């Protein structure tokens, strides 16, 4: 019987941890891999054996104790941050140690109510997101099989417009809201509160405009995260009038989900360049990160 690996690769500054089902240890010499906040997972293949005659036997994997795994992996995450993250000894950043302790307490509390992979995974995602650190993340290595988390949606996805409103940008034919409809609130929570809690609480760095633009399209995708409240009844502005509907969450296949998500944001990237504009203004375009696409310097004396 194959062992089932616990499914988190923790990339913490320059000191990743590799957590498996049998051991959690610092892997300081492990090459870093780019981290990702995606929730697309590969499903493990079942073990099969052929017995005598034509009887096909199915050998099922034991169901992991996800609460136990969360307790152990959250503790390992906490200890590695405390031991290896530079912020833990930065006198100008005392909040990091407090956040680390608080998030461990929260993760251990959630472990008592964790019974599946979604609870395990999103508890760790929220732990990492709380630091708002672009170099600290949790990722599943591509060579590790993890349970597939099926996605559901209510027949539409939204995205931020230039005014900061959440608008319907893609929809199924039976969607209760038309394209361009502006989200007002869901279940008594404003659009801003809802997306900040349900999406920003998992991705982190919600104060960065590029993060909001890139991730906001996940608001109406449900991956079974038990630590957030999925919207049930939402009100949109359609032609200036309020329209309210109860959401019907249905399965969303991988191919369709990826295509729909692609409609929720686009990325423009100018080439690296230096241009001298009028009045000796120098425009420098640098591709720096997803957070800062270009930098503008006003230096009249710079030639």
Indicate the pLDDT class of residue 269, thresholds 50, 70 and 90.
low
Percent of the chain surpassing pLDDT 70: 73
Domain end residue (candidates: 91, 107, 139): 139
The answer to whether residue 1 sits within a structural domain is: no
Helical pair 95-111 and 66-84, crossing angle rounded to 10 deg: 170
The answer to whether residue 223 sits within a structural domain is: yes
Beta bridge pairs of residue 8: 19
Say if residue 199 is in the same domain as residue 244.
yes
The answer to whether residue 172 sits within a structural domain is: yes
- Give the DSSP H/E element, type plus range, for residue 10: strand 8-12
Compute the residue count for the chain: 303
Say if residue 121 is in the same domain as residue 186.
no
Say if residue 200 is in the same domain as residue 184.
yes
What pLDDT, on the 0 to 100 scale, is given for residue 143?
A: 79
Positive/negative CA dihedral, 4, 8, 9, 14 = negative
Indicate the pLDDT class of residue 31, thresholds 50, 70 and 90.
very low
Mean pLDDT for the stretch of residues 261-284: 83
Mean pLDDT for the stretch of residues 66-93: 94
Say if residue 12 is in the same domain as residue 134.
yes
Domain end residue (candidates: 113, 139, 165): 139
What pLDDT, on the 0 to 100 scale, is given for residue 142?
A: 78
- Kindly report the average pLDDT of the chain as a whole number: 78
Q: DSSP secondary structure string, 201-269?
A: HHH--TTSHHHHHHHGGGTT-B---TTS----EEEEEETTEEEEEE---EE--HHHHHHHHHTT-----
Q: Which of 217, 229, 287 is nearest to 257 (CA)?
A: 217
- The whole-angstrom separation of Cα 27 and Cα 201 is 27
Cα 144 to chain centroid, rounded: 18
What pLDDT, on the 0 to 100 scale, is given for residue 46?
A: 29
What pLDDT, on the 0 to 100 scale, is given for residue 42?
A: 31
- The whole-angstrom separation of Cα 131 and Cα 104 is 12
Number of domains, the chain: 3
Indicate the pLDDT class of residue 199, thresholds 50, 70 and 90.
very high
Say if residue 222 is in the same domain as residue 274.
no
Mean pLDDT for the stretch of residues 38-49: 32
Is the pLDDT assigned to residue 32 strictly greater than 50? no
pTM of the predicted protein model: 0.72
The answer to whether residue 245 sits within a structural domain is: yes
- The whole-angstrom separation of Cα 205 and Cα 183 is 22
Is the pLDDT assigned to residue 37 strictly greater than 80? no
Q: Which of 114, 143, 151, 133 is nearest to 38 (CA)?
A: 151
Q: Which of 97-106, 131-140, 274-283 has the highest mean predicted lDDT (pLDDT)?
A: 97-106
What pLDDT, on the 0 to 100 scale, is given for residue 138?
A: 85
Say if residue 277 is in the same domain as residue 246.
no
Higher pLDDT, 54 or 205: 205
Say if residue 99 is in the same domain as residue 127.
yes
What pLDDT, on the 0 to 100 scale, is given for residue 289?
A: 54
Say if residue 95 is in the same domain as residue 169.
no
Say if residue 192 is in the same domain as residue 123.
no
- What range does the domain containing 283 cover? 269-303
Indicate the pLDDT class of residue 285, thresholds 50, 70 and 90.
confident
CATH of the domain at 210: 2.30.42.10
Say if residue 163 is in the same domain as residue 201.
yes
Say if residue 15 is in the same domain as residue 93.
yes
Indicate the pLDDT class of residue 273, thresholds 50, 70 and 90.
confident
Domain end residue (candidates: 83, 117, 139): 139
Say if residue 297 is in the same domain as residue 256.
no
Percent of the chain surpassing pLDDT 90: 56
């Amino acid at each position: 019987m194959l062992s089932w690996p616990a499914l988190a690769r923790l990339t913490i500054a320059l000191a990743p941890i590799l957590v498996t089902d049998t051991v959690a240890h610092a892997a300081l010499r492990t090459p870093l891999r780019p981290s990702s906040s995606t929730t697309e997972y590969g499903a493990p293949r079942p073990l099969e054996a052929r017995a005598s005659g034509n009887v096909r036997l199915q050998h099922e994997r034991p169901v992991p104790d996800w609460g136990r795994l969360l307790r152990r992996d959250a503790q390992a995450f906490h200890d590695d941050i405390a031991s290896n993250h530079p912020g833990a000894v930065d006198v100008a950043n005392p909040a990091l140690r407090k956040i680390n302790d608080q998030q461990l307490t929260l993760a251990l509390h959630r472990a008592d109510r964790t019974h599946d992979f979604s609870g395990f995974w999103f508890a760790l995602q929220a732990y990492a997101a709380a630091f708002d650190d672009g170099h600290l993340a949790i990722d599943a290595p591509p060579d590790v099989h993890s349970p597939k988390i099926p996605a559901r949606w209510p027949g539409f996805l939204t995205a931020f417009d230039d005014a900061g409103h959440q608008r319907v940008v893609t929809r199924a034919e039976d969607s209760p809201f038309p394209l361009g409809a502006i989200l007002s609130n869901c279940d008594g929570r404003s659009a801003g509160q809802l997306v900040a809690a349900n999406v920003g609480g998992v991705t982190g760095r919600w104060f960065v405009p590029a993060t909001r633009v890139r991730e906001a399209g996940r608001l109406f995708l449900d991956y079974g995260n038990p630590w957030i409240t999925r919207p049930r009844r939402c009100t949109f502005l359609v032609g200036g009038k309020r329209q309210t509907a109860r959401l019907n969450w249905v399965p969303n296949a991988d191919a369709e989900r990826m295509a729909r998500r692609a409609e929720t944001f686009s990325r423009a990237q100018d080439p690296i360049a230096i241009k001298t504009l009028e009045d000796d203004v120098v425009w420098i375009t640098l591709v720096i990160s997803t957070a800062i696409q270009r930098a503008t310097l006003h230096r009249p004396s710079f030639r």
